[in-house]
Structure 1
Amino acid sequence: MNIKEKWRSRQRHSLLENTVMLYILQFSNMALGMLTQGYKMRVLGVELVGLLGAGQYAANFFLIFLDFGFLLSATAKVSARRDNKHELSRILSCVVAAKVIFTIISALVLTFFIVPSLTGTGEVLAYYFFLLSCVAATMLPDYMYRGLEQMSAITIRAVAIKFVSTLLVFVLVQKPEDFYLSPLCTAIGNLGALAFVYWHLRSKVGIGFTRVRLKEIWTEIADSSQFLLSRMAASINSNLNGLLLKHAMPGSGLDMYTNPDIATGLYTNADTVIIAARNGMSPIADSLYPHMMKHRNFGIIKKAMLFVYPVILAGCAFVFAFAEPLLTLWLGPEGVNVVFPLRLMIPVAVFAFPNYVLGYPTLGAMGLAKYANISTGFGTVIYLIGAFTCYKTVGISLPALCILSSVTELSILLFRLVIILTHRKLLKQPPEVKESKI
């Protein structure tokens, strides 16, 4: 059976369909994001790209707090209760209510603790636009569609809206002084997607808002909190580098590696490639998670590692070997300066895929989801020890933090492998023997 026949004969809302739709959504975000990054590098220059990068890294911490782990906890609940529309409406209402509370807290933190340290109206507006974009993004009920395995229902329209926000960058950001409009364009796209998705959820899926009690909201928050710690830890691992380069790196400003703004810009561009690689891998894990929580089909994990991972390794080798022409084509002449930090971070992409599939899809189905959280915390400890050691000895530097990112990703993978091998007997137990506690 060829690929076309396989797709036509698929079961509606199957794992195959859900994975493909997640790939379309993620690939479009990746491609459009890299397109605008290359444009901004040429129009704004590496220093303003670094300023926006620092703002994005700060906003990512808000994004993790706003999500609060609901993408995992609520997805599992939706998957388990997909036939009960009233219960699904209750979950939706509780999650949105919780995120409204978190939005208010985030706005207060930004206003009173971050804004006073910023310089210039443009930078202040950029940070508020970043927060607005994060709020709109986290309010999207992805957990509902992932749990129902109905990503095809919103994928194409969401991509179209994302395309509009990308066009806005080319229209509104014409000169360096327009840098603060870049996050506004993303926010507009996210708000458009938000309006459409809630309309679709209500009119097509039959799920809307319902009255919930404060106790029910608190229960959802408590159930999600176990994932918050893991996601916050992962956020530290992936986002603190940019902030350390911007605010903690001792630099004379004499060259690109000792100037904090330029170093942050170089790291931001290299990290954009790594994020794109991660986004290319995550749909498999995202679609596997509800499937594994329901069916515990560990054979599909083995197939993913045997057939998908070699392709990823080949892609990483290709980017490592041809980094210079690829980055020059993407970012312009200054792209050659990104080659060195990118090559130091390629191992992050190498270790990311097994970390995804052996994390919540595997450990969660084994009833060991807490170890997925603990492993990320373990990686954070490794990262913080490494960053502190650099700060006290050779100082914070771009090469050191790039290497530290790779070491951190490897430490998480090794931790998860040890846990799976230690509890490997659970891989052979029937579903009713060991259920998830989510």
Structure 2
Amino acid sequence: MSPSNKKGLASNTAALLSLQLANYILPLLVTPYLTRTLGISIYGVVAFGLAISQIACIITDYGFNLSATYQIAKESDNKEQIRKICGAVFTCKVILLIPVLFLLSAFIHFSTNYNEYHDYFWLLLLPIIGQTFQPTWLFQGIEKMAYMTIFTVTSRICVLGLTIIFVAGPQDYSFVAITTGLANIFAALIGIAFMLKLGYSPSWSSWSFTRKIFDESTEFFWSRAALASYTAGTTFFLGIFSTPVQVAYYAAAEQLYKGAQSFITPLTQALYPYMARNKDVSLFAKILKYTVLLSILGCVAGVLIGKQVLALIFGHSFIDAYPTLILFMLLFLITTPSVLLGYPFLGALGDTKTANRSVIYAGLVQITLLLICYLLELKLAVQVLATTLIAEAFVLTFRGYKAVQIGKQLSNPGESDSPALAK
């Protein structure tokens, strides 16, 4: 690996780390304010709505954050082709908003448990639209993560400020959707402005090219959709079949889990386009080893001081979320190597099928387990989270087995003609 490539990887990782810390720290400042201002039940309703918006954004993203990033990284020297990819992606996103609007309308119409909160759920369209048009995939693909960091951090700061200004009591819960929506839209506008400034204004190619970009992202979408079944989908399950209090317990513990993940995610995001070009397996192995060791230390810390942290950040009413937090810490130990073995390793070496299918199969496992929870009336946050733990363990096992195979092939290149290594 050349010094310039190392420097670029380090710079992009630093920018993404700053981004992830902002994505965690700033919401972590908002969440304690909301838990205390709204109360545990109303906060559970708000968290449920935000989970719905996350699911909607998975549909409008349609896997482009992975597929378009990869396509743009391969066309890094062809600005005109990148502009065509941008045009195709934005066109697809506009079209994908249509089924999202239909599904949200159907939920609001048929859900009887949240009749008094309909205005809040309609206002979720604002953050959904804002998130949909943020061109994060472009800046990851051209490895200009600093631009992505700027507009994302700006939006997080806006959310914090606007929430403190407009949310003064339980009656102001709808303003959470408004403030989050305005901040997301502002971030999208800044991101598009940077995109135009760098000369990547979207250009129209043809419907056939747009369809090609859409089709190439389909497998990524199904893997993201399956992933949603044991991330935001778990919150959705609790929101439908359990109580807002259980949703609140789950959401609070998940915030701390996401905080731990915020130290890992930037590394995986920076590694993906880098490994797609350089395929530096020896560097990847070192990163994997040290990252897993750090995750073990973080997990131990979370178990030891979890109760105190929950009470300090969210309030004493959230101490009962501690068993859920313990499972999240165990989940963190599993997802850390699993995520690194996914797209940064298997995907970058050409085996995107394993990276995607592992998640799709795990999604089916999760759906089956959630069905069992429904039939047995297991509706506590800790019980539902246990299904996610099993699903993620499946993903790690599936990816780990394939990664070992590829490792053996790399050690004995003459023994295999694996297409994953031919790229």
Normalised TM-score (structure 1):
0.90
Find out whether 1:225 has 2:218 as its counterpart.
Answer: yes
What's 1:48 paired with? 42
Contact 1:10 1:16 survives alignment (8 Å): no
Cα deviation, 1:356-385, whole Å, max 9, x if unaligned, reads 110011111332110111111221222222
Find out whether 1:281 has 2:275 as its counterpart.
Answer: no
What's 2:232 paired with? 239
The amino acid that maps onto 2:63 is: G
Find out whether 1:16 has 2:7 as its counterpart.
Answer: no
The alpha carbon displacement at 1:132 in A equals 2.1
Most deviating of 297-306 and 86-95: 297-306
- Structure-2 change in CA distance of 1:284 and 1:12 (3 Å): closer
Contact 1:70 1:143 survives alignment (8 Å): yes
Pick aligned residue for 2:101 from 107, 131, 146: 107
Measure, in 1, the Cα distance between the counterparts of 2:304 and 2:44: 25
Cα deviation, 1:186-232, whole Å, max 9, x if unaligned, reads 111111111111111112x1110222322221111100001011000
Measure, in 2, the Cα distance between the counterparts of 1:199 and 1:95: 17
Give the secondary-structure state (helix, strand or coil) at the position aligned to 2:203.
coil
The alpha carbon displacement at 1:437 in A equals 9.9
- Structure-2 change in CA distance of 1:115 and 1:287 (3 Å): farther
Trace 1:76-155 onto structure 2 (pairs within 5 A): 76-117=70-111, 123-155=117-149
Cα deviation, 1:238-263, whole Å, max 9, x if unaligned, reads 122222222224xxxxxxxxxx1211
Number of equivalences: 418
Measure, in 1, the Cα distance between the counterparts of 2:261 and 2:120: 25
What's 2:306 paired with? 323
What's 2:199 paired with? 206
The amino acid that maps onto 2:236 is: L
Trace 1:289-300 onto structure 2 (pairs within 5 A): 289-300=272-283
Trace 1:381-392 onto structure 2 (pairs within 5 A): 381-392=364-375
The alpha carbon displacement at 1:58 in A equals 1.8
Find out whether 1:36 has 2:30 as its counterpart.
Answer: yes
Cα deviation, 1:21-55, whole Å, max 9, x if unaligned, reads 01101110100111111110000011111111211
Measure, in 1, the Cα distance between the counterparts of 2:78 and 2:189: 24
Cα deviation, 1:52-80, whole Å, max 9, x if unaligned, reads 12112222211111000001110011101
Contact 2:108 2:118 survives alignment (8 Å): no
Most deviating of 413-422 and 41-50: 413-422
Measure, in 1, the Cα distance between the counterparts of 2:157 and 2:421: 38
Measure, in 1, the Cα distance between the counterparts of 2:53 and 2:143: 29
Measure, in 2, the Cα distance between the counterparts of 1:322 and 1:396: 26
Pick aligned residue for 2:241 from 248, 257, 264: 248
Cα deviation, 1:386-437, whole Å, max 9, x if unaligned, reads 222233335333221122222221111011111122333443559x985689
Measure, in 1, the Cα distance between the counterparts of 2:144 and 2:321: 39
Normalised TM-score (structure 2):
0.93
Measure, in 2, the Cα distance between the counterparts of 1:215 and 1:11: 35
Contact 2:275 2:349 survives alignment (8 Å): no
Identity of aligned residues (%): 23
Q: What is the CA RMSD across the aligned residues, in angstroms? A: 2.3
The amino acid that maps onto 1:373 is: N
Give the secondary-structure state (helix, strand or coil) at the position aligned to 1:149.
coil
Pick aligned residue for 2:252 from 242, 266, 269: 269
Find out whether 1:159 has 2:153 as its counterpart.
Answer: yes
What's 2:69 paired with? 75
The alpha carbon displacement at 1:129 in A equals 2.8
Contact 2:291 2:336 survives alignment (8 Å): no
Give the secondary-structure state (helix, strand or coil) at the position aligned to 1:322.
helix
What's 2:185 paired with? 191
Contact 1:34 1:272 survives alignment (8 Å): yes
The amino acid that maps onto 2:11 is: E
The alpha carbon displacement at 1:157 in A equals 4.5
Find out whether 1:178 has 2:172 as its counterpart.
Answer: yes
Contact 1:364 1:436 survives alignment (8 Å): no
The alpha carbon displacement at 1:119 in A equals 6.4
Cα deviation, 1:89-129, whole Å, max 9, x if unaligned, reads 10000000000001122112212343442567862232233
- Structure-2 change in CA distance of 1:168 and 1:378 (3 Å): same
Most deviating of 297-306 and 394-403: 394-403
The amino acid that maps onto 1:15 is: L
What's 1:402 paired with? 385
Contact 1:426 1:434 survives alignment (8 Å): no
Contact 2:147 2:191 survives alignment (8 Å): no
Give the secondary-structure state (helix, strand or coil) at the position aligned to 1:14.
helix
Find out whether 1:363 has 2:357 as its counterpart.
Answer: no
Contact 1:13 1:150 survives alignment (8 Å): no
